[in-house]
Amino acid sequence: WEQSVALGFTLNKGNTDNLLFTFDYRAAYKVAQREVGLGLSASYGEAKGRKNVDQLRAFGQFNWLFQEKSYGYARVEGFHDEIADVDYRFSISLGAGHYFIKTPTTKLSAELGPGYTIERLGGKERDFATLRVGQRFEHKFDDKTRVWQSLELLPEVHDFSKYITNFEIGLETSLTKQLSLRLTLRDSYNTDPAPKRKENDLRFVTAIVVKF
């Protein structure tokens, strides 16, 4: 297992009064034909004494490689965002993926498969079938610095004009053998948000990473 915990904290007092705390846990396991990825992230923030960030996300994915670069996958994900009025959103998907590039320093993969989502949004419960399209790129410049980018598209099967996209791009560089500095830009877009909520959420996070 390769595991890491990233902690970010911002506090401003005076002319600007705000607080932001972020936590991110990642674990990866790779052996023979199996790949496992786990993640848990949480964010909490206040501005002028009022809560403006309260988000929780968790996921797990299992890949089974039936060829050197091709695999089948199963993925589950849970999401909560009080500010966006998402009480919960649970998604499960099954599908196939392929590594277009798979070297010790560079990886580029894409995934496609059906899924199903259950959510409580704006106080209303609903469930629907989705089509999941995923893509991920990662490159290691050396033993200390790496960059990555991922994109996930989740359109509703019965109405492709309704969809959710999740985009992430990041840079991580080692400070010591166990400590790193991580910069991450995340963007989530929902064409059908809760009433009186915006479609887009963009966040830039700076964090210290502990590897173990």
* pLDDT of the residue at 18: 82
Q: What is the structure's pLDDT at 10? A: 80
| pLDDT of 212 strictly over 90 | no
Does the pLDDT at position 17 exceed 80? no
Contact at 8 Å (CB) between 95 and 132? yes
- Which bin fits 160, alpha (ψ -120 to 50), beta or left (φ > 0)? alpha
Reported as a single tens digit per residue, the pLDDT across 64-80 is 999 999 999 999 999 99
| pLDDT of residue 162 exceeding 80 | yes
Q: Are 169 and 146 in contact (CB under 8 A)?
A: no
